[in-house]
Each structure stands twice: as C-alpha cells, then as structure tokens.
Amino acid sequence: DGGITQSPKYLFRKEGQNVTLSCEQNLNHDAMYWYRQDPGQGLRLIYYSQIVNDFQKGDIAEGYSVSREKKESFPLTVTSAQKNPTAFYLCASSIGTHEETQYFGPGTRLLVL
C-alpha cells in the first residue's frame, strides 16, 4: 500500500527551539517537496529535492533546512530563525520534477507555545 506518511500530526514548538517534521514515501519517487499552507493562502514551496543528496530552495526557504540522505525520506527542520512557524506543513512527492502531478502526505500542523 504505497503512499506518503508525515509525522507527527501535531507538533508544538517552544521559542528558540528547532523541530523536525518527518516525511516518508514508499512510491519510489525521485522528487520530494515541502510546502507551507497559511490561512487564506495557496501552498508555498519551501524546499524540493530532485534526487538523493540534492535539494534546492523554494520560494520561502529562510528559517528552514532539509536533508535527503535516503530516497524515501525528506525531513524538514524548522529552525529558531523561522520567526513565524505556525502553519500547516505538507510534504509531497512526484516521479520526477518534470512531472507536475504530486502526491501529498496528510500534513503536520505546527504550533508555537
């Protein structure tokens, strides 16, 4: 049963703390993405990765970091430099970046305490 999983579903961050959001896919997709969704806005691209050990900044990469050590995994770290981290975070994957159709995970809602 292929798909994308994200954990946790809800995450709380204290001021000055780094937190890491997990994203795993078993679709054998090369490309993976992280989006942020805020109320009243469309999805905005944070980072994407076309292949293992490679990743590129999206439109709003400041305050975030990623790694792609395995094809299946693309974790996102929200650092203390991200001043407004409260949002809904969505991970997605596609066969390759040439393929527009993306498959999304269920999302993680990050809240700041």
Partner 1 sequence: DQQVKQNSPSLSVQEGRISILNCDYTNSMFDYFLWYKKYPAEGPTFLISISSIKDKNEDGRFTVFLNKSAKHLSLHIVPSQPGDSAVYFCAASAGTGANNLFFGTGTRLTVIP
Could you list the residues that contact partner 1 (CB under 8 A)? 4, 6, 9, 31, 33, 35, 40-45, 48, 50, 56, 58, 90-92, 94, 96-107
Task: Kindly compute the dihedral angle of the four CA atoms of residues 76, 39, 108, 51, in this order, to the nearest 10 degrees.
Answer: -40
Nearest distance from residue 34's CB to partner 1, in Å? Answer: 11
Amino acid type, 44: R
The distance of closest approach from Cβ of residue 24 to partner 1 in the complex, given in angstroms and rounded to an integer, is: 13
Q: Which is nearer to partner 1, 58 or 80 (CB)?
A: 58
Which residue's CB is nearer to partner 1, number 13 or number 109? 109
- To partner 1, the closest distance from the beta carbon of 23 in angstroms equals 11
Token code pair at residue 102: 């993306």
Q: Where are the alpha helices (DSSP H) in 5-99?
A: none
Q: Which is nearer to partner 1, 58 or 63 (CB)?
A: 58
Residue (3 or 20) nearer to partner 1, CB: 3
DSSP 72-112: TB--EEE-TT-S---EEEEEEEESSTT----EE---EEEEE
